[in-house]
Amino acid sequence: MQIEVHTRRRFGAREEDIAGWHVVRVTGEVDANTAGMLPTLVLYAVRRGAEQVCLDLSDLERVDRSGAEALRRCTRAARHAGGRLAMIEPDDPGVAEVLADTGVARDVPVVTQREQLAAHPPRPRRGATPRGATRQRPRSRAG
């Protein structure tokens, strides 16, 4: 599924599943005009069943402080919906610097390349029943 949002600046997001992760590849620029899209994309992905979401920032060209704060909100959005978030670090040194200066690189777990996603298999959700298993009903006490 590809999502293109047309603003004054170029922004794009493409979604795909890799090794149990739902990867959202973000391209272009994340600024005050487009920052609200990121937490929404993460929240929708988790609500559609993704337990782990990874934001691929390798093609991100520019991010400002409002975009960095939106990345931080993505972590809260994923956690609130019962999922987990990681990010693939940006190739652009300017973007990486903004993420480091704002603390996002410290707060969001970083995977350096897409290939590393396979090394971080999905964790089962807390309280989730494994596929194919059934929960046992508590036995009533008679007597």
Domain annotation for the chain: domains and CATH numbers: 2-111 (3.30.750.24)
Quote the pLDDT of residue 126.
46
Question: Average pLDDT of 90-110?
Answer: 92
Q: Decide: 11 and 29 in contact? Cβ < 8 Å.
A: yes
The most confident of the ranges 77-86, 114-123, 131-140 is 77-86
Quote the pLDDT of residue 64.
94
What pLDDT, in 10s, does the model give residues 35-44? Answer: 999 999 998 9
> With 70 as the cut, is the pLDDT of residue 2 above it?
no
What pLDDT, in 10s, does the model give residues 48-68? Answer: 999 899 999 999 999 999 999
Q: Give the type of residue at 127.
A: G
Residue indicated by tokens 């959005």:
77
Quote the pLDDT of residue 85.
92
Quote the pLDDT of residue 117.
74
> With 90 as the cut, is the pLDDT of residue 113 above it?
no
- Average pLDDT over the chain reads 80
Q: Give the type of residue at 40.
A: T
Whether this prediction's pTM lies above 0.85 is answered by no
81, burial (CB in 10 Å: exposed 0-12, middle 13-18, buried 19+): middle
